[in-house]
Structure formats: C-alpha cells, structure tokens
Amino acid sequence: MLIGNNEYQVVSGGDFKLDGGAMFGIVPKTLWQKLRKPDEDNRIQMATNCLLIRTPQYLILVDTGYGTKMTDKERAIYGMSGVSLIDDLATHGVKPDDVDIVILSHLHFDHAGGATVTDLEGQMYPAFPRARYFVQQGEWDDAVNGFATMTATYNLENFTPLMDAGALTLVEGNRDICEGVGVAVTGGHTRHHQMIKATSAGETVVFAGDILPTYSHARGPYNMAYDLFPHETMVQKLQLLEQAASQGWIIVLDHDPLATAGKIVQEKPGRFSFEEIALN
C-alpha cells in the first residue's frame, strides 16, 4: 500500500504459538480467553509480522521473525508453522539481495532469528547480504550479556554473525536511520526495545514491536509476562495509543495473526479500539 511516498507491506516471519497466560501477564484467563481462544495446551496462535518499507531511496525490512535455525524440538514447543520470511519475501518479489536496511526492534529470537542463516557447513552469515542492520547499543549489550528472564530468548547465533560480518550498526537513543524513517526507544519489553516510525508526506506508520503485540493488548494492564518492565510498557503503550489516535497513525502489530495493521480510536480516557487496515 502506498502511503505518502512510501510503499508498505506486512510480510510473515512464520507463525507460532505462545502460552496465553504468558501473553497476557496479570490478566486472568477468564478475561483473556474471550479475546484469544487457547488450544488444549493453553497456547494461543501468534504471528511474526515484519514490515517492508519501500522509500524512494531504500528497501527497508523491520524485524525478521524466528528464522530457519530452530531445532525440531523448539519448533514443536512453539508450534511453529507457516512460511519462512525468505519465502514470503519471494512471493512479494523481494530477494535477500534487494534489502538495503534491516531494523530490529530488539534481539529476542522471534524478531532477530531471521537476521542470520546457516550454510551446509553450519557457518552463520547475514540473511540479507547487502543490508546494513540497526539495533540499539543497549539492546546489544543486554543480549550478549544475557540480561533476560527467559534465558533462551537471546541466541548469539542470531546476531553475532552480523557483527562479525561488519553489517551491524549500534545506535544510541532516538534517531533517524534514513530520511523519514527513525527509531524511538520505548524500553518496557526489554530495557532498550525500540519502535520504528516512518513518515512520508505527513502520513505516519509505526511498527510498535512488543509494546503492542496484538490489538487485544490495547489496554493499560494487558502486558506480557515476557516484559522485563511491565509498568514501563504500560506507560509507553498508552502514550503511543493516544498519539496514534490523535494523529491518525497506522500501527503495525508484530504478533497479531488476526489483524496486522490499523488505526487507533480513543473511545474514552484509557480505552481504545482498533480499526484494521490491510497494508498489502
């Protein structure tokens, strides 16, 4: 979809399932199961939605899904299914070589897993060979030091090959990556989690990352148990929702299998609804 002078498409980095209780943190199951129906193992269906932004200068990919390096055991635990990011990009006519810039919201496996690929000898290298990759310096530091409650979520194979190849740029704080596309640190989910904001001809699209994983999370306390700082997630999310509603921003939802993007409507203070817009 063309918005301003940029073209946007949501692409899939693969489907998976996560424990419904973990996805809704302190919210009782009696409430969340009405929003997302769990399977017999209490898991709910999740997507890994990635965003392609085609600006007049660059082809930009935001997040990369969980990739193709997961073991069969991990694939079973997370109920992984669906197409790989590379295959889904191909259906949109995009080859790995076409991507100029990759921006990662953070380095958890379901966002950075597709950033690297392995060859038959087990050698890891960047999945997008021409691209420059961007992530927050603080996120990198926390990832390599394993600053996490879910220890397996930072897998060095997903990001150290980027550094080894000289393809990774570590940024500090809010800044533009190229004309009209910038990053803003939210914290909350991880200390240095960032969202990505693209503006062209006055029209703004925001990839919120794990600050707002599905539209069912568009309420203050509806945070994930995976959040390191749930209160910060809540504060940042409410601020984002208010801004998106008042300024007509389109929000991309990184984990929602039911709706990938849409506009926010403020019903009353702290209460929001979501109007889906298909970007593809």
Binding residues for Zn ion (CB under 5 A): 110, 210
Q: CA–CA separation, 11 vs 84, rounded Å? A: 10
Give the nearest distance from C-beta 29 to Zn ion in angstroms: 21
Judged by CB, which is closer to Zn ion: 65, or 138?
65
Contacts of 13 (CB under 8 A, 6+ apart): 48, 49, 50, 63, 64, 65, 66, 67, 84, 85, 88, 110, 113, 114
Q: Which of 174, 45, 32, 155 is nearest to 103 (CA)?
A: 174
Give the nearest distance from C-beta 177 to Zn ion in angstroms: 20
Judged by CB, which is closer to Zn ion: 13, or 262?
13
Give the nearest distance from C-beta 64 to Zn ion in angstroms: 12
Give the nearest distance from C-beta 184 to Zn ion in angstroms: 17
Judged by CB, which is closer to Zn ion: 110, or 227?
110
Judged by CB, which is closer to Zn ion: 111, or 132?
111
Q: Which of 138, 247, 226 is nearest to 209 (CA)?
A: 226
Judged by CB, which is closer to Zn ion: 105, or 200?
105
143-182 in b/e burial notation, b at 16+ Cβ within 10 A?
beeeebeeeebbbebbbbbbeeeebbeebeeeeebbebbb
Judged by CB, which is closer to Zn ion: 210, or 227?
210
Q: What is the side-by-side strand order in the sheet with 2-3? A: 2-3, 6-19, 43-54, 59-62, 101-103, 132-136, 168-171
- Residue 201 is encoded by which pair of tokens? 């001809």
Give the nearest distance from C-beta 255 to Zn ion in angstroms: 6
Give the nearest distance from C-beta 217 to Zn ion in angstroms: 12
Contacts of 151 (CB under 8 A, 6+ apart): none
